[in-house]
Structure 1
Amino acid sequence: MTIAILCGGSGTRLWPLSRSLLPKQFAPLLESGSFFTQTLLRNAPLIKSHNAHFQIIANEVNYFIAQDQAKQAKVEIQSYILETIGKNTAPALCLSALDTAFKYDKDEIILALPSDHLIKDSKAYQKAIQEAIEYAKNDYLVTFGIKPKSPHTGYGYIECEKNGNVKKFTEKPDQKLAQTYLEEGNHFWNSGMFCFKASVFLDELQRYSKKVYDACIVAYENSDHNEIYTRINSELSEKIPEISIDYALMEKSKKIKCVIGDFSWSDVGSFESLNDEWPKDTQGNASRNDIIAKNSENNFILSDKFVATIGIKDLIIVDTNDSLLLAKKGESQAIKDIVTELKKTRPELTQIHTTAYRPWGSYTVLLESSNYKIKQIIVKPKCRLSLQKHFHRNEHWVVVSGSANVKSGDKEIFLKANESTYIPMGQLHRLENQGKIDLVIIEIQVGEYLGEDDIVRIEDDFRRC
């Protein structure tokens, strides 16, 4: 069995915590770890019990974050599918099925799961998975419905009979219709979890969404393949229709079964739902920080700084190094509109935090102006940055701890703590940590343009050229 974890979501409703280079599923939003690591650990028992393996479908920019977090969780990932352009769930699942059929068997069962959901009650979860597998063995496409706890208008609904037959899918209903569904008792939240044979899925997709199927076939066959990952061709990805699996297939196929999940489930798609998972004080304020709340009730507060509140109620307060969000509870759905505006005016605020993670380590912007930027750079042991140059900036490097091997032009330089070097504009250079501990340097950039896209990679261990 292939356990396919879908990691392509951007989590815009949790901005400014979630950004494109550190989306919701990888962000440290829970004390128990990221949603991605929790998804891996929750499904790890299936590896032994069903001779299963993990397959990760992610944007290529998040490949190394997924690798690092899987390593920290001590979970082995057998394969990655790296999307250069996200095209929603139908193409992602088609690529998953194509890869599974090619590498394993066309009748291999795929358990396809979102990477950013929170599920409790492992016994009930495992029971639902086993029921879905039995349906899948009999050539059904299985979806999972969740017993609704409230008339939630943010979820899609599945109308399901007792024998598992699906009568209808309904996109996010209004409050009145959601209340009716709750009272009728035969409508369930659409969880976005699926189980099917690769061959059955591909046959049905070819029948009902041939354009998606054909475009995915061409993109997959002309992609970059190796033992660890398949990187989907970016030009051919552009030609794949963008569509969800519900619209492309589930609402059309005659082979659908629904398994009802009788376990606690949330897609944690808003700060209101994240609020439910965080510890609270006696006044109902949810926070993981040291706060003093005077006459303040039912607030969600996240900040790296000490926070004091007086006389506020029902607010969402999220303070990061470069952004501050203030919102009334119940109105956070509009955050996606803020993100849309920012993509036009301040796109960097939707893409990256002041601390950014790279395959070789991380960097943190400490101070920034129009013509200079100061960073702390951490390079992991036995890792190195790409051989690169810049057209618009000079760089000064000061080693804080560890040791650095620096290639600068034709020179090879070894630097230890409290030593420095200068990289002039246009010069080929590379930073490497050959030691056994982290290398920490302070980088001072000076120039007329300091954007992260002013990097020309000549060689790169991580194939980002």
Structure 2
Amino acid sequence: MTVIKSIILAGGSGTRLWPLSREMYPKQFLKFGNTSLFQETVLRCLDISDISEIFVVTNEAQKFFVIGQIEEIGYSIPPENVLIEPEGKNTLPAIFFGMRIIENKYGRSVVGIFSSDHVLDRAAMQTIASAEYLASDYLVTFGVVPVFPHTGYGYIKPSEACGPGYRVSEFREKPNRETAEKYIQEGCLWNSGMFLFDTELFFDEVKKYAPSVFTCFENGNDINEIYSCVDKISVDYGIMEKSYRVAVVKLEQKWSDLGNFAAIYDEFEKDPVGNVVHECDPLMLNSDGNLVYSSCGKLVSLIDVKDMVIVDTSDALLVCPKSSSQKVKDIVSTLKDRNDERAYIGQTVYRPWGTYTLLEVSPEHKIKNITVLPDHKLSLQLHYHRSEHWVVVKGMACVEVSGQQFFLRPGGVLLSVQVKNTDCPIREKFRLRLLKCS
């Protein structure tokens, strides 16, 4: 058993990297290479915690992402370690939820708190682990030494030294550029949103400075009841900015919260004229400093374009200056006001059993490409206003219609579009299960 346990906060609304991220597919599960931000977070936590000592706070809709992506990197998290919030109530209730579970299981513990969508040099975990003994006396946070006057981060002003860290003088809100430059001159640090908490001290400080949160968790019988009454409040506002027992430990390693497309641009390798290109091969004339992402196979051509973000997906196109990329969330807000489902899902939708991609839509029909994971199955369905016609092109499937089961497998020429098919009529219960891939 290791000394430090870990909590990964894996909620998210998918607004800041839209249209790549959506509410049902937030940025921590995006893959810009072989692994997602969430998977990288899990791998870092394994440097200080056993897989059985990692707890993930998420929601029901994203539970299958959490379990599936951990399995992709070769680990199996205990199901009881995936903690489901009934609704998002910001970071303090989410952390309290995890801390209470850990204390009930292990007793008094030191717990690292990590966001699931940050980029962090793995060497930083050594610095985090070295602050373990400091957590018995202080609520420990980690401040990143700034490399430029960032206006998208909060700042922490350290004061006198205490062990490997410093007492916190004050937390400061996101500044304008001039103020950010002043903060850096004063020795302020970027607020990373990572913490190291002793369970006993944490509960004491919550009881003192956020008593309504403490009372809801102490008096509630189950998590649904607790979340129906608990306040929506951040851990910074709830306790960190109020407590006198707060210390900050400096991190000199590379860190980013990838909070917008400008941060994505800064993170990735650039061509000789400063363009970042992902998943496409654009044609560019006199164009530099751009972020170009296209996942739909179209040729992207740029002429005299500078310092722009171009993100093209199958159902949405975003074009904006890099300097305005923090405003993307306003587009998502407008889509939600219009009840536009593109705020929530893309054309490819992820489900516990696999994915489906919407290929064609009209008032009379829909065509979907459905991919079912081996040994997974769709939920039992019944439609009153449409029938479904399935074509199996790969793998062997078990189809259940009105309680009867039969099997479909590919046959004939694999390139043939219609290999095997079945009809699911109106008002008949049906579902599909993939037995194996061919």
Q: What is the TM-score when the length of structure 2 is the normalising length? A: 0.91
In 2, distance between residues paired with 1:6 and 1:115? Answer: 6
1:413 Cα deviation (Å)? 2.2
> What is the aligned partner in structure 1 of residue 414 from structure 2?
none
1:77 Cα deviation (Å)? 2.2
AA in 2 matched with 1:108: S
In 2, distance between residues paired with 1:248 and 1:379? Answer: 43
Q: Show structure 1 runs of 4+ deviating over 6 A.
A: none
Q: Percent identity?
A: 40
Q: Partner of 1:181: helix, strand, or coil?
A: helix
Q: Deviations over 1:308-342 (max 9, x none)?
A: 21121111000000000010110111111111000
Contact conserved, 2:45 with 2:54, CA < 8 A, in 1?
no
* In the alignment, structure 1 residue 377 sits paired with structure 2 residue 377: no
In 2, distance between residues paired with 1:327 and 1:216? Answer: 44
Q: Deviations over 1:360-412 (max 9, x none)?
A: 11111111123311111111111111122223322111111112211111322
> What is the aligned partner in structure 1 of residue 289 from structure 2?
298
Q: Deviations over 1:204-263 (max 9, x none)?
A: 1111111122223455x314xxxxxxxxx2x65232211110000101112211111111
> What is the aligned partner in structure 1 of residue 416 from structure 2?
none
1:85 Cα deviation (Å)? 0.8
1:32 Cα deviation (Å)? 4.2
Q: For 1:35-54, what aligned pairs fall within 5 Å after superposition?
A: 35-47=37-49, 53-54=53-54
1:45 Cα deviation (Å)? 2.0
Rate the CA distance shift 1:80–1:200 in 2: closer, same or farther, 3 A.
same
* In the alignment, structure 1 residue 22 sits paired with structure 2 residue 22: no
AA in 2 matched with 1:69: Q
Q: For 1:310-329, what aligned pairs fall within 5 Å after superposition?
A: 310-329=303-322
User: How many residues are matched?
Assistant: 418
Contact conserved, 1:355 with 1:362, CA < 8 A, in 2?
yes
Contact conserved, 1:212 with 1:240, CA < 8 A, in 2?
yes
> What is the aligned partner in structure 1 of residue 388 from structure 2?
395
AA in 1 matched with 2:177: Q
Q: Partner of 1:65: helix, strand, or coil?
A: helix
Contact conserved, 1:302 with 1:317, CA < 8 A, in 2?
yes
> What is the aligned partner in structure 1 of residue 420 from structure 2?
419
Rate the CA distance shift 1:281–1:346 in 2: closer, same or farther, 3 A.
farther
Q: Deviations over 1:161-180 (max 9, x none)?
A: 24110111111122222111
In 1, distance between residues paired with 2:14 and 2:218? Answer: 28
Q: Deviations over 1:74-122 (max 9, x none)?
A: 23423111112111101100101111111221x11110001111112x3
* In the alignment, structure 1 residue 140 sits paired with structure 2 residue 138: yes
Rate the CA distance shift 1:209–1:361 in 2: closer, same or farther, 3 A.
same
Runs of 5+ unmatched residues, structure 1? 224-232, 439-465
AA in 2 matched with 1:251: E
> What is the aligned partner in structure 2 of residue 241 from structure 1?
231
In 2, distance between residues paired with 1:218 and 1:11? Answer: 33
Contact conserved, 1:11 with 1:269, CA < 8 A, in 2?
no
* In the alignment, structure 1 residue 176 sits paired with structure 2 residue 192: no
Q: Deviations over 1:142-200 (max 9, x none)?
A: 11111111111111111112411011111112222211111122x11110001111222
Q: What is the TM-score when the length of structure 1 is the normalising length? A: 0.86
> What is the aligned partner in structure 1 of residue 71 from structure 2?
71
Q: For 1:189-228, what aligned pairs fall within 5 Å after superposition?
A: 189-218=190-219, 221-223=221-223
Question: Relative to structure 2, which stretch is displaced further, 278-287 or 189-198?
Answer: 278-287
In 1, distance between residues paired with 2:226 and 2:49? Answer: 33
In 1, distance between residues paired with 2:205 and 2:237? Answer: 13
Question: Could you tell me which of 81, 93, 96 is aligned with 1:94?
Answer: 96
Runs of 5+ unmatched residues, structure 2? 411-418
In 2, distance between residues paired with 1:363 and 1:217? Answer: 42
> What is the aligned partner in structure 1 of residue 169 from structure 2?
167
Rate the CA distance shift 1:347–1:99 in 2: closer, same or farther, 3 A.
farther
1:264 Cα deviation (Å)? 0.9
In 1, distance between residues paired with 2:75 and 2:242? Answer: 36
Question: Could you tell me which of 347, 356, 361 is aligned with 2:349?
Answer: 356
* In the alignment, structure 1 residue 62 sits paired with structure 2 residue 62: yes
CA-based RMSD = 1.7
Contact conserved, 1:131 with 1:259, CA < 8 A, in 2?
no
AA in 2 matched with 1:377: I
Q: Partner of 1:92: helix, strand, or coil?
A: helix
AA in 2 matched with 1:155: Y
AA in 2 matched with 1:368: V
AA in 2 matched with 1:87: K
Contact conserved, 2:22 with 2:345, CA < 8 A, in 1?
yes
> What is the aligned partner in structure 2 of residue 336 from structure 1?
329
Q: Partner of 2:229: helix, strand, or coil?
A: coil
